Amino acid sequence: MSKILLLVLSVVGANACYYNAECHYQLFGSKTPYDTVRGDIRDHNSLPNCQAVSLWTLNRHGNRNPGTSVTAGMREMALIKDDIVRSYYVGNSQLCAQDIENFNKWMWNTTLELTQSYLTGTGYEELYDIGKRIREKYPHLVQGNPEEFYFRPTNEQRTIVSCDAFAHGFTDGTSLNVTVDDPRQRDDVIRPYENCDRYQEEVKGGQSLAYQLDTYFLSAPYVAIQNAVQQRLGIPKNLTASNVFAIYELCRFFRSWSNNLQSPWCSPFTDEDLLVLEYYDDVRHYHRNGYGSWVNEHLGRFPLKDLYENLEAYVRGGGRKVVSYFTHDTMMEMVFSALGLYKEDTPLSSLIMDPDRVWRTSHIGAFSVNIIAVLSSCHESEGQSYRVQIFINEKVSPICPPEGCSWQEFKDKFQHFTNSSLDFCSMDYVHETGNEPSTNSASPIRGFWSW
């Protein structure tokens, strides 16, 4: 009986082929392509008896190259490509023939070391297309005085070029010429965390985040993936935990640049493996950018203050037609936290993975994620009024219903953000609410996850 079972398992393993999978896993945390998770602003019905008069957006930059440390790890693992191919031909590999052929064809992109964290062509297209869809939805907004339009990125190449791409898509084929504002060395609207000592020391450099990441790589599910990948590849090199994650980085970056969203580097992983690997970004971003610290929610208020003030200025007879900012996933997730969105009943932990979690970086921290607020002027029986619609990734958000918030409802939700201050960033500041999460919210039981 045991020989028959072994034969069946061998046949199943031999038939397992990433190339031939009918439906490839699509969620890759903060490296998920925007088209995987977006809606379409053009598909939403316009409000009856209303016309959009002002629009405010906050955008993450588009698809980019990996940063310095990730590139180095990827480059190291790229060197084992020939070992992976040889392992197949000597009978040690569990990969299929087509996956091996695709490894043979695959080549390292030699420009990655020279363009670390730069926006890619795919990223440019993502932002261009968002601008284009907004133009097609609200064509009457794409006209007027250039001073009525404002675009500003942070001081990084990936956001600067993303801003240019959005402005290009928004104005392409029109006579409107807009000017993009220069990035600021210090930008307390769309990157306040960079100059917040409390965030840099207590959150980004704090023990809680380090603990969560360390225990993730020691957990039983991750160790099981590490062992399984070693067995599937059948190579002589003993893969470390960081080696396996670098293979995952090769998988999710290179697939995001391919037309068919596939990469041979994804072939060592099952869909179940990719689900566990996706969770790394969720835990990391929850504690670094989200509800893991009250500091993050406070920092997320500053773009929302700008949103309210811009729409209020228009209602009062001033303001601009379009205001768009281009920032990073850190800022986007802080804003979601300030809005109270995607909040779990219990804090995310590296040791307890909830498959039904709502804090899902693949959806809220993917490339080019965005918030779009649309102010409309409406003619109702009582006279003129204003309504505000708020979309996240071009989908209706829970902040306002599809028919929009009334101006009073919008004020009730957003006006309090105008009281935001960076005083809490001082290490001498004492937070008075008593709601700070514990510095170690993870379970004391180490080495396994609950499913």
Catalytic one among 61, 285, 287, 363?
61
pLDDT higher than 50, residue 33: yes
Where in the chain are the domains? 27-425
Q: What pLDDT score was predicted for residue 101?
A: 97
> What pLDDT is stored for residue 5 in this prediction?
39
Which candidate in 164, 281, 282, 329 is catalytic? 329
Percent of the chain predicted with pLDDT > 90: 88
Give the pLDDT confidence score for residue 433 in this predicted structure.
Answer: 53
The model's confidence at residue 22, banded by pLDDT at 50, 70 and 90, is confident
pLDDT digits (tens, 9 = 90+) for 394-440: 999 999 999 999 999 999 999 999 999 999 999 888 876 544 443 33
CA atoms within 13 A on the CB side of 51: 7
pTM, two decimals, is: 0.92
Confirm if 384 and 392 have CB atoms less than 8 A apart: no
Q: How far apart are CA 87 and CA 85, in angstroms?
A: 5
As a whole number of angstroms, the distance between CA 97 and CA 78 comes to 19
User: Beta strands 50-60 and 322-327: pairing type?
Assistant: parallel
Residue 62 structure tokens: 């588009």
Q: Is 428 designated active site?
A: no
Q: Is 385 exposed, middle or buried (0-12, 13-18, 19+ CB in 10 A)?
A: middle
Does residue 374 register a pLDDT over 60? Answer: yes
Is 61 among the residues known to form the active site?
yes
3-state percent breakdown (helix, strand, coil) of the chain, nearest 5: 50, 10, 40
Three-state secondary structure readout of 44-73: CCCCCCEEEEEEEEEEECCCECCCHHHHHH
Answer whether residue 204 shows pLDDT above 50: yes
Q: Is 194 left (phi over 0), alpha (psi -120 to 50) or beta?
A: alpha
Mean pLDDT over residues 54-64, rounded? 98
Fold of the domain built from segment(s) 27-425: Rossmann fold (3.40.50)
Q: What is the pLDDT of residues 131-148, one digit of tens each?
A: 999 999 999 999 999 999
CA distance 157 to 162: 8
